[in-house]
Chains A and B, each alone.
Chain A
Amino acid sequence: MSEAAARRAGLLIGGSVVFVALLGLGLSRNLGWTESPGELVLPYRDDYFWAKHFAFNRLLAVLTLLIGLLAVWGVAAGLSAARRVAMVGSALLAVAINVDLSANDQVLGARGGNITLMLMVLVGLLTLELTPRDEEREPIP
């Protein structure tokens, strides 16, 4: 992969994350900063459906946006430290969200959508790290 392709991939990853996070923030605008699990029961109206089911906690979506932007900056500027921080940050947040989701009393109030965004950053950047650059092709045994 050339450096130009790597930058384009970074923009794709960050752009996707920012797009979904903004979409989630927009659709969850009436939810407040946290949700109680009990609010998930039926029945739901259509607007309720879209807001509830898009599965975002606002605070975490904002954190995701920041991590996504950090990833874009790291890839675009060729800063491996920024990429690593974004990867570690997304991994830690994904674990924290999962632990929180499994608990009886949620602290973060997150949903699966928040984990998805973290995984998008993590998986995307890992793919970039593992894909050989043009100048570092693997020797053929």
Chain B
Amino acid sequence: MSDVIDRGSPAEGRWAAFEPVEPVGGSVSRGAIAGFRILFGLLWLQGVGWKSPAVPFDQSSGFFYDFVKGAVSNEVFAPYAWLVDTLVLPNWTMFAWATWITEILLATFLVLGLATRFWALVGAALSAGILLSVANTPDEWGWAYWMMIGGHLVVFATAAGRVGGLDGVARPGWRRSRHWLARALVRAS
């Protein structure tokens, strides 16, 4: 990969703490960072496969519904179980569509390496929701979800879209632009 790593100008004040770590220089290491990001994109891509609005969104036969219901029947964290019981399950269709669309967008943006840091945080948040839903469900391996959270945070911390992703190619152009969308993309990448 021959991308020029765009380090940008250092952030000041409260944003300084969120600056990405210095990218490593070796092509193998940079390839690993890009591969790690794409791997997480594929993870979400596979996730959207078993959630089809045609069938599993139906409460009576939905594996997805049972999956989320685990937050109540195999409680991990009481306030979250209460939230799922009183807000999510009664509004299941809306919640299922929102989750499905979010996972599609996660797959799209992480594979492309576009607005990667923002979507990595979204992925970490969604992974936390899954952890709180199923970590105590029998036959589930709770560590998998901790690793998903950690992996997304690594994608965020390394600004992984700047290596082999669209962020790395388009970011210099965004930084020169004063358009609000370009400014937002600079922050998100």
Contacts and interface: CB of A to CB of B under 8 A. Distances in A.
Given A12-B165, A112-B100, A113-B48, A37 B54 contact: yes
Contacts of A138: 176-179
21 contacts: A16-B111, A40-B55, A41-B61, A53-B46, A101-B52, A111-B52, A112-B48, A116-B104, A119-B105, A120-B108, A120-B112, A123-B108, A123-B114, A127-B170, A131-B174, A132-B176, A132-B177, A134-B173, A137-B177, A138-B177, A141-B178
A89 interface: no
Contacts of A104: 54
Interface in B49-90: 49-56, 61, 63
B51 A112 contact: yes
Contacts of B31: none
Interface string A8-44: 1100110010001001000000000000011011100
Which secondary structure dominates chain B's binding surface?
A: helix
B107 interface: yes
Interface in A87-117: 101-104, 106, 111-113, 115-116
A123 B111 CA distance: 12
B29 to A, nearest CB: 19
B113 A116 contact: no
B49 A111 contact: yes
B13 to A, nearest CB: 23
Nearest to B63: A42
Interface string A35-65: 0011011100000000011111000000000
Interface string B140-180: 00000000000000000000000011100110111011110
B152 to A, nearest CB: 18
Contacts of A140: 178
A77 interface: no
B5 interface: no
A54 B176 contact: no
B121 interface: no
Most buried by A among B45, B47, B104, B107: B45
B165 A131 contact: no
A112 B46 CA distance: 9
Most buried by B among A42, A54, A133, A141: A54
